Structures are given as structure tokens and as C-alpha cells.
């Protein structure tokens, strides 16, 4: 069965902002561009062999999420040469005011969430993904995806100033 895929350039034109936003939200301002570029390279390589064209945006954002997680895994395995390690711990793991977003205190609270809840919230509200796609990206079920987002929102509401 042959799938009718749009030209790859149309896919890029339609979704490059979504990929870039998610890459920056998950990997931070330093690695965000690299993650987005890696996601596009992987998407281009896999595009001809796709078997379904029903949710290309979700497919792209799942690839982006996986590329961002690869960056986090690489960081965890490598030493960080720095003269003042405690200052690195203060760096936000999620977007802050420097990214153009004006809700700095909210992003600080999002950054304090447990990693899985933080990722679920970013995929839901920054990437605007549905729970099925979030579940695929996180390697869980849609019910667990809903639970992660729900628990994160409850924590954010509880900690609200």
C-alpha cells in the first residue's frame, strides 16, 4: 500500500516553528537549535518509509522529544568543565524570561516539577500534543499521560503564590 505523503518541504514549512519551540523547551536555549536540526535530519531519513500520513505533526514532535532526551542522556554521561558547579544547578531546565516568555515565576515552578511531569506538561502545553502522542513520546499509556499532566497541574496550583 502506497501512502501519499506531501513534499518534505511542505512539512518543514508547516511545522518548523512547532519543532523549534519544543526543542528549545525540552533542551534549553543552548542545545535547542541542535536538537531541532537533529530532529529534522532524522525525520528526513525516515520520511520515505512512513506507512501513515495521518499525524505528521505528532510524528515530528515525537522525534524532537526523543532527540532532546538523547541530549539529556549525553549530558548525564559527560563531565561538565566549569569552575563553579553550584551556579550550573541554578540554571533553569525549562524556558524562562530569556526565551521571550513572560511567565518567569511559572516556568521556575514548572522547572521544579519531577522530570516526567515536567516533560508531560511541556508536551501538552508547549507542543500542544494530545495525550496519545504524549504517551508515545514518553513510552507510557494515554491514561498515565493524563495522570502526569493532572498531577503536575495540581502541584502548580498548590504552589501558586
Kindly report the CATH number assigned to the domain that includes residue 22: 1.10.1740.10
Number of folded domains in the chain? 2
58 and 113 assigned to the same domain:
no
Domain annotation covers residue 94:
no
- Which CATH number fits the domain that encloses residue 135? 1.10.10.10
Instruction: From 78, 95, 127, give the residue that closes a domain.
Output: 78
69 and 110 assigned to the same domain:
no
Q: For residue 39, what are the contacts with CB-CB under 8 A and spacing of at least 6? A: 19, 23, 60, 63, 64, 67
Question: What confidence tens digit (pLDDT) does each residue in 64-83 have?
Answer: 999 999 988 887 776 556 55
Instruction: From 78, 95, 119, give the residue that closes a domain.
Output: 78
Greatest Cα pair distance in the chain: 58
CA atoms within 13 A on the CB side of 55: 11
57 and 107 assigned to the same domain:
no
Instruction: From 61, 78, 95, give the residue that closes a domain.
Output: 78
1 and 67 assigned to the same domain:
yes
Residue 48 buriedness (CB in 10 A; 0-12 / 13-18 / 19+): exposed
55 and 122 assigned to the same domain:
no
Which pLDDT belongs to residue 86?
A: 45
67 and 132 assigned to the same domain:
no
70 and 129 assigned to the same domain:
no
57 and 115 assigned to the same domain:
no
What sign results for the dihedral spanned by CA atoms 36, 42, 44, 49?
A: negative
Look up the domain containing 146 and give its range.
103-161
Predicted model pTM: 0.55
Question: What confidence tens digit (pLDDT) does each residue in 112-157 have?
Answer: 899 999 999 988 888 888 888 888 888 999 899 999 999 999 998 8
Amino acid at each position: 500500500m502506497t501512502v501519499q505523503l506531501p513534499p518534505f518541504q511542505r512539512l518543514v514549512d508547516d511545522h518548523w516553528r512547532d519543532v523549534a519551540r519544543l526543542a528549545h523547551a525540552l533542551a534549553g536555549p543552548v542545545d535547542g537549535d541542535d536538537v531541532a536540526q537533529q530532529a529534522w535530519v532524522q525525520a528526513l531519513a525516515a520520511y520515505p518509509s512512513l506507512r501513515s500520513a495521518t499525524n505528521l505533526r505528532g510524528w515530528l514532535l515525537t522525534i524532537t522529544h526523543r532527540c532532546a532526551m538523547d541530549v539529556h542522556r549525553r549530558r548525564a554521561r559527560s563531565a561538565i568543565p566549569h569552575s563553579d558547579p553550584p551556579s550550573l544547578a541554578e540554571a533553569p531546565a525549562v524556558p524562562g524570561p530569556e526565551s521571550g516568555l513572560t511567565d518567569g515565576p511559572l516556568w521556575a515552578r514548572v522547572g521544579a516539577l519531577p522530570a516526567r511531569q515536567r516533560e508531560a506538561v511541556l508536551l501538552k502545553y508547549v507542543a500542544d500534543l494530545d495525550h496519545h502522542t504524549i504517551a508515545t513520546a514518553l513510552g507510557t499509556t494515554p491514561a498515565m499521560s493524563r495522570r502526569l499532566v493532572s498531577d503536575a497541574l495540581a502541584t502548580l496550583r498548590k504552589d501558586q503564590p
